[in-house]
Amino acid sequence: LAKEVGAKVETIYTIESKEDDKTYLQRMDENLAKIAESLK
């Protein structure tokens, strides 16, 4: 779908698991920053 509409695919953190030794808030902050950047 992304290819068809010319969109870029980004990886975001899941909520269920602790990844990269980041806290929940750190992961959400990074996710929201990626989403905001993709909407520009």
* 38 confidence band (pLDDT: 50, 70, 90): confident
Q: Is the pLDDT of residue 2 over 90?
A: no
pLDDT tens for 6-36 read 888 888 888 777 778 888 899 999 999 998 8
Predicted TM-score (pTM) of this structure = 0.67
pLDDT: is 1 or 36 the higher one? 36
Query: In the Cβ-directed half-sphere of 40, how many Cα atoms lie within 13 Å?
Result: 6
Q: Which residues contact 20 (CB under 8 A, 6 or more apart)?
A: 13
